[in-house]
């Protein structure tokens, strides 16, 4: 079991959390990011609305982000959202498909926060967490 996890982990690329280059947010803790992506907060620590965007279920970048930053597997995350949705407390982040589309969405929206593979980072976005 451990070997399977390890081997999968080693084949991952590096995920980074990004905001728009126009955003005033410069740095976020894993705890800040976790709260925003689990819908527990909708603002940044220094103020300003936070709009998280998720990649599609099954994407490698998504799996890596949730395991490394939020400490939840895909099925744990699904159970978490079942609890939140059916208590009327909220909904998961909107979905955007692929690293490039997420980068463009975040770059164009100063409130947005997303996660992409490090190789896709350019000057339009700012890395706020490297887990």
Partner 1 sequence: MKVKYSLSVFCMIAAWLSVAEAATQAVSDSSVNEGLINRSEPTLFTLGGFGTLGVSHSSQSLGDYILDSTLPKGAGRSSSWSMGNDSRIGAQLTANPTSTVSMVLQIISEYQSDNTYHPEIEWANVKYAFSPNTYIRAGRIALPTFLNSDSRKVGYSYPWIHPPVDLYRVVSITNSDGVDANYRFEIGEAGNTIKILNGKNTIKRPTSISTSEDMWGVFDTIDYGAALFRIGYQKRNASSYSLLTGITGAWVPNIDLSVGGSYDPGNWFVMSEWIQRKSTTKLSAMYLSAGVRLDKFTPYVTYSNNGRGSFLPGFPPPTVASVLSASRSQSTFTTGMRWDFRKNTDLKLQYDNVKLSDNSNGYLANLPANTVLFGTRLHVISAVVDFVF
Question: 72 vs 118, which CB is nearer to partner 1?
Answer: 72
Question: Which residues of the shown chain bind partner 1 in the complex (CB under 8 A)?
Answer: 1, 4-5, 29, 31, 39-43, 57, 71-73, 75-76, 78-80, 82-83, 85-97, 101, 105
- Dihedral (Cα; 31, 28, 127, 114), 10-degree rounding: 50
* DSSP secondary structure code for residue 23 in this structure: S
Number of alpha carbons in the 13 Å side-chain half-sphere of residue 66 = 21
Q: How far is the CB of 116 from partner 1 (least distance, A)?
A: 15
Question: 39 vs 127, which CB is nearer to partner 1?
Answer: 39
Question: 5 vs 9, which CB is nearer to partner 1?
Answer: 5
């Amino acid at each position: 079991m451990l070997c399977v996890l390890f081997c999968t982990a080693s084949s991952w690329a590096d995920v980074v959390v990004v905001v728009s280059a126009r955003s005033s947010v410069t740095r976020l803790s894993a705890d800040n990011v976790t709260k925003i992506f689990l819908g527990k907060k909708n603002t940044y620590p220094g103020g300003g609305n936070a709009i998280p965007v998720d990649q599609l279920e099954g994407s490698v970048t998504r799996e890596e982000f949730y395991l490394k930053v939020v400490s939840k597997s895909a099925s744990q995350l699904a159970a978490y959202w079942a609890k939140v949705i059916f208590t009327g407390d909220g909904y998961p982040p909107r979905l955007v498909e692929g690293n490039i589309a997420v980068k463009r969405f975040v770059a164009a929206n100063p409130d947005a926060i997303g996660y992409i593979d490090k190789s896709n980072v350019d000057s339009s976005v700012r890395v706020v967490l490297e887990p």
